[in-house]
Amino acid sequence: MRMSKRLAKKGWQFLAGWIALSLIWPAAPLEAAAKNIRVALFVDTGQGYRGTVPAVTLTSDSGFAVTLTGKKDAIAIPKMDEQAIRFRVDEYQVVVAETDDLGEAERIAQRLSQRKADAQILQEERGGSDRYQVVSGSYSDYQSAAAQAKTLAQAAGGTPVVKGPFRLEAGRYASLKEARDWEAAFELSGVPAHTVWVGEKAKTSYAVWIGDEVSKERLSSLKAKAESLFPGFSYREPAVDTYLLLDQEVLTGGGTKTIPFYAFSPQAKVTVAAQKGKPPLIGVEEREQRRYRGKMELSSYKGHLTLVNELPLEEYLYGVVGSEMASGWPLEALKAQAVLARTRALGQGNKYGVANVSDTVMEQAYYGYDREAADIRKAVDATAGEVITYGGKLVEALFYSNAGGMTADGTEVWGNPVPYLRPVDSPDVAPLVDANLWYEVALADGTIGYVRSDLVTLTGESNALGLPLAVVNTDQLNFRSGPSTAYHKVLQTLPVGAQVTIIGQEPEENAYAWTRGPYTPQEITAMINESQKRNKAEQFRHDISSLRVTARGPSGRVLAMEADGIPLTVSSPDAIRSIFAQGGSVLRSTKFEVEEMGSYTVLGANGRKVTYPRSAGLYAIGSSLVPEAPNGYAEAFLIYSGAGAWRTATKEQAFLLRGNGFGHGLGVSQFGAKAMAEDGYDYRQILQHYYYGVEIGR
């Protein structure tokens, strides 16, 4: 159901009567819009957010323009025409194995991957033949690398060792070939060596560095060994941070194709741009092969490889709006999203130390160039520079998928009111209307579950209770505990022709309506105890038999709950979603009801009522006058409540959560914005419906 313009106008008049209350955080001052924005694709903040990898693979159809910046120098590296290059920080690694057999190296690398450990195969030439080194990880300190070496010993089938970043320079050369020849000579004599590109005082050359020592103290013995083998060099510690170690990594999957693999100083940063293109794009293999505008900056931050995409703010918004909304949505909805995204980006400051935002929903999704489209760019360009302010300051620009019919009040999410965020009606129902239909059905043995409606065919017949019958029209049909494939488990599979009795129907899980469960008392107790542990609260020592909502906010969202009469502890009302996390995913919203499937009241003779659950089970008197368990051995059974309504109940207690909405509920509902745009509202009217008393301007 969509909101009429008359209803919307009444909503705005109602909001005018609210009293402005203080924010729970200081509003961001409105500053001049930044020309560029820095987006962390991989970063470790050291304060709750971490997404890192040991190495990054960059791709470009046109080659790369690379600049290496150290404490003193910023030097352009000679043109790189390769279509793919890899980078890591020059620090500690674990050498898992060395072998002349590429097949063996690949098998070891595969075993590491099966143990969720990073694995790289480096290739080098020794005496005219190839040698392969299987290495794992990248570590800023020896202790971390040594601990990983012990962990990987079993997978390696040997004794992994740690190699470090301490080396000696054995000479500089004008050509890459000359440096490679000396590298091979040292390696053949048993001395680890690397060809290194060095930039110093605006000059570039190639060098050979020897050793992979784990400490400076071990360099003296390395020097003695090298001098005995090759006395003609003056071995010294390198004093430059603008360098790249030149390695080759073997690409697994058959063949001997390699990719350039560069290690750079932890004291330097590497800036990479595509040489050309309309627009020039750089791909990031480890980021789902996404492609990005702008340039990439690699550095070591807080001891980890960090990758930052720097690009013009408005071009960043092309990727954000295309990631947060879909091309083809009404232009006014896309414009509203563009203003929200710009406001949110500018309000973050230097949040990550080396970047303003991440590419995740910690701020807002940003999946790069391939999420752009002509209508999305048009929406961003049409609103260029526009932001949302309240009292002259940037608002906390919040948005989410679906409000479930009404947005949240600040008290329902953080426990504190926010003056420009008030509950308003939101026309979010489109996903419900468009959802596939599922049937709740009973099998011949009484088992109750769900099947998608198009996978069964109605026979036109009914059972003795008047419930319609159907047969399965596909083989190996998944018979599930609820109406979705993502969150509800498969109870069994049904063969083609199997007969089912249709109890009722429900829409497939969607952004507007969803269910979780049913959960057993053991499952719900485990979830709640894990949450209580996180919040340093008392845990339950018995299986929970009752779960109740004890307080709701203005929009109907859950504010507080109790289990067996004991209040549940959470850091904020919205954190209730994390209590019932399933497979790493929290509840879609706090706008939900708890259905205790094992709780019901039976009305007997003389008005006598019996409430379940209780220690004695429920029995029915059949035609034989012998008490029988309802629905035989099946766990669930049906209760008829009159007027054709059936309720599924369980013999033992079970908990089913039925909810509406997808997201925290504060600010703009994206599906609501879409519906309002379809009803003729422009982006300013949409934003000012969801945000009370704000201004929109450049």
Give residue-wise pLDDT tens across range 465-483. Answer: 889 999 999 999 999 999 9
pLDDT given at position 253: 63
Which of 4-18, 128-142, 267-281, 485-499 has the least mean pLDDT? 4-18
Rounded average pLDDT over 579-599: 90
What is the C-alpha to C-alpha distance for residues 632 and 666, in angstroms, rounded to an integer?
Answer: 47
- pLDDT tens profile 376-396: 999 999 999 999 999 999 999
* Those residues with Cβ within 8 angstroms of residue 674's Cβ, 6 or more apart along the chain or in another chain: 325, 329, 330, 333, 430
Rounded average pLDDT over 493-499: 96
Secondary structure of residue 320 in the 3-state scheme: helix
Nearest residue to 425 via CA among 556, 576, 574:
556
pLDDT given at position 18: 25
pLDDT given at position 154: 77
pLDDT given at position 5: 34
pLDDT given at position 201: 83
Q: Is the predicted pLDDT of residue 546 greater than 50, yes or no?
A: yes
Burial of 131 (0-12, 13-18, 19+ CB in 10 A): middle
- Residue 334: pLDDT band with limits 50, 70, 90: very high
Q: Is the predicted pLDDT of residue 507 greater than 90, yes or no?
A: yes
The answer to whether residues 354 and 45 touch, using CB atoms and an 8 Å cutoff, is no
Ramachandran assignment for 140, one of left (phi > 0), alpha (psi -120 to 50 degrees), beta (any other): alpha
Q: Is the predicted pLDDT of residue 13 greater than 90, yes or no?
A: no
Give the residues across from 173 on adjacent strands.
206
What is the C-alpha to C-alpha distance for residues 324 and 318, in angstroms, rounded to an integer?
Answer: 10
Higher pLDDT, 638 or 557: 557
What is the C-alpha to C-alpha distance for residues 689 and 698, in angstroms, rounded to an integer?
Answer: 19
Which of 21-35, 235-249, 334-348, 682-696 has the least mean pLDDT? 21-35
What is the C-alpha to C-alpha distance for residues 265 and 627, in angstroms, rounded to an integer?
Answer: 80
Which of 187-196, 272-281, 600-609, 632-641 has the least mean pLDDT? 600-609
Q: Write out the two tokens for 257.
A: 């194709």
What is the C-alpha to C-alpha distance for residues 682 and 673, in angstroms, rounded to an integer?
Answer: 10
- pLDDT tens profile 289-304: 999 999 999 999 999 9
The answer to whether residues 672 and 426 touch, using CB atoms and an 8 Å cutoff, is yes
pLDDT given at position 6: 31
Concatenated DSSP letters of 506-524 = EEPS-SSEEEEEEEPHHHH
Burial of 466 (0-12, 13-18, 19+ CB in 10 A): exposed
Residue carrying structure tokens 């309240």: 390
Q: Is the predicted pLDDT of residue 32 greater than 50, yes or no?
A: no
* Those residues with Cβ within 8 angstroms of residue 635's Cβ, 6 or more apart along the chain or in another chain: 447, 650, 651, 652
pLDDT more than 70, % of the chain: 89
- pLDDT tens profile 595-624: 998 876 666 555 665 565 655 555 554 544
Give the residues across from 301 on adjacent strands.
304
The answer to whether residues 692 and 19 touch, using CB atoms and an 8 Å cutoff, is no
Sheet containing strand 490-494, edge to edge, reads: 456-462, 468-472, 499-507, 437-442, 448-452, 477-480, 490-494
Rounded average pLDDT over 568-588: 92
3-state secondary structure 612-669: ECCCCCCCEECCCCCEECCCCCCCEEEEEEECCEEEEEECCCCEEEEEECECCCCCEE
- Residue 636: pLDDT band with limits 50, 70, 90: confident
Nearest residue to 676 via CA among 691, 687, 664:
687
- Residue 632: pLDDT band with limits 50, 70, 90: low
- pLDDT tens profile 40-97: 999 997 766 778 999 999 999 999 999 999 998 899 988 889 999 999 999 999 999 9
pLDDT given at position 30: 39
What is the C-alpha to C-alpha distance for residues 552 and 542, in angstroms, rounded to an integer?
Answer: 27
pLDDT given at position 431: 96
The answer to whether residues 334 and 323 touch, using CB atoms and an 8 Å cutoff, is no
Higher pLDDT, 93 or 646: 93
Q: Write out the two tokens for 279.
A: 């627009």
Average pLDDT, the chain: 88
Rounded average pLDDT over 6-20: 29
- pLDDT tens profile 218-260: 999 999 999 999 998 999 999 999 999 999 999 876 556 899 9
* Those residues with Cβ within 8 angstroms of residue 698's Cβ, 6 or more apart along the chain or in another chain: 33, 384, 385, 386, 387
pLDDT more than 90, % of the chain: 74
- pLDDT tens profile 198-227: 998 888 899 999 999 999 999 999 999 999
According to DSSP, residue 82 is labeled -
pLDDT given at position 603: 61
Q: Write out the two tokens for 484.
A: 């979705």
* 269-274 and 295-301 strand pairing: antiparallel
Q: Is the predicted pLDDT of residue 8 greater than 80, yes or no?
A: no
Q: Is the predicted pLDDT of residue 695 greater than 90, yes or no?
A: yes
Residue 22 CA neighbour count, 13 Å, CB half: 3
Residue 304, number of CB atoms within 10 A of its CB:
22
pLDDT given at position 135: 94
Give the residues across from 5 on adjacent strands.
none
- Residue 16: pLDDT band with limits 50, 70, 90: very low
What is the C-alpha to C-alpha distance for residues 200 and 238, in angstroms, rounded to an integer?
Answer: 11
What is the C-alpha to C-alpha distance for residues 622 and 627, in angstroms, rounded to an integer?
Answer: 7
| DSSP H/E element including 611 | strand 609-612
What is the C-alpha to C-alpha distance for residues 513 and 589, in angstroms, rounded to an integer?
Answer: 10
What is the C-alpha to C-alpha distance for residues 214 and 222, in angstroms, rounded to an integer?
Answer: 12
Q: Is the predicted pLDDT of residue 136 greater than 90, yes or no?
A: yes
3-state secondary structure 23-62: CCCCCEECCCCCCEEEEEEEEECCCCCEECCCCEEEECCC
